[in-house]
Amino acid sequence: MSDVSFPSRWPPEMADVIQLYSMATPNGQKVSIALEEMGLEYEPHLVNITQGDQRDPGFVRISPNAKIPAIIDPNGPEGKRVAMSESAAILIYLADKTGKLLPQNYLSRMEHIQWLMFQMGHIGPFFGQFGQFYKFVRDKVKDDYPLERYTGEVKRLLGVLDTRLSDRKYIVDDYSIVDIAIVPWVNTCAEFYEAFDHLDMGSYTHVEAWRRRINDRAAVIRGRKVCAIR
């Protein structure tokens, strides 16, 4: 939050609304979906990580780890302009700003944050590594161990989700930023990685019903398209 000047490479046309710097990856979709669901006005800017845009000095000032997504909110707390990076932190910030999709009751809030950290610490890293070895470097790695390792862990995590969803419609009580954080990664396994059959995703019936339920939401449909490469 130290430097909240707008990156010169992406000058805003509407400087009084939230500026989103992102790309339609799983982490990027989390924030664009949340913005759509919360009804917040925002201006999206494509940061094309396949071309190294994330290393632009102006972007690094607002995202020190040079990772998408990031936002600048010109109307932050106490009337201050606020820059935020790290997708989970942004989700919590937006939820607190709007009072939507994250309960304020302490125990319920902490349960949501617990499952949000489950996504950040397990779903994201392991699904991402699985995609690396299944889709991108499969023909470059002679040892079967990495793919077997990450395939097994992704299946285990899908099993955790399936058990959790066996008696509920959403991960925690009502639809929340937790569902928004997790569903893009499950979608990516099925769609972008094209690993639906490899992972036997159809056998996780509760996960699949939940995924369809969320993907049918109008705000999710819109949010998944934001900052997509055409």
CATH of residue 187's domain is 1.20.1050.10
Residue after which a domain boundary falls, among 101, 134, 164:
101
Residue after which a domain boundary falls, among 56, 74, 101:
101
pLDDT interval class at 82 (50, 70, 90): very high
Q: How large is the average pLDDT for residues 117-143?
A: 96
Q: Is residue 142 part of a domain?
A: yes
Q: How large is the average pLDDT for residues 65-74?
A: 98
pLDDT, position 4: 83
pLDDT, position 226: 98
Tens of pLDDT, residue by residue over 193-219, are 999 999 999 999 999 999 999 999 999
Domain of residue 39, CATH code: 3.40.30.10
Same-domain pairing of 118 and 95: no
Q: Is residue 230 part of a domain?
A: no
pLDDT, position 64: 96
Q: How large is the average pLDDT for residues 123-133?
A: 98
Same-domain pairing of 135 and 171: yes
pLDDT, position 8: 96
- Summary mean pLDDT of the chain: 96
Residue after which a domain boundary falls, among 77, 101, 125:
101
Give the CA dihedral 76, 53, 7, 45, nearest 10 degrees. -60
Check pLDDT > 90 for residue 230.
Answer: no
Q: Is residue 228 part of a domain?
A: no
R_g over Cα of the chain: 18
Q: Which residues constitute the domain of residue 201?
A: 106-220
Q: Is residue 13 part of a domain?
A: no
Tens of pLDDT, residue by residue over 93-123, are 999 999 999 999 999 999 999 999 999 999 9
Check pLDDT > 70 for residue 37.
Answer: yes
pLDDT, position 127: 98
The Cα–Cα gap between 219 and 10 comes to 25
pLDDT, position 45: 98
Q: Residue 85 in contact with residue 62, Cβ under 8 Å?
A: yes
Q: Is residue 4 part of a domain?
A: no
DSSP string covering 116-171, please? Answer: HHHIIIIIHHHHHHHHIIIIISTTT---SHHHHHHHHHHHHHHHHHHHHGGG-SSS
Same-domain pairing of 115 and 189: yes
Q: Is residue 178 part of a domain?
A: yes
Check pLDDT > 80 for residue 3.
Answer: no
pLDDT interval class at 139 (50, 70, 90): confident
Check pLDDT > 80 for residue 1.
Answer: no
Check pLDDT > 90 for residue 158.
Answer: yes
Same-domain pairing of 135 and 204: yes
Short-list 171, 23, 177, CA closest to 91: 177
Check pLDDT > 90 for residue 2.
Answer: no
Tens of pLDDT, residue by residue over 41-52, are 999 999 999 999
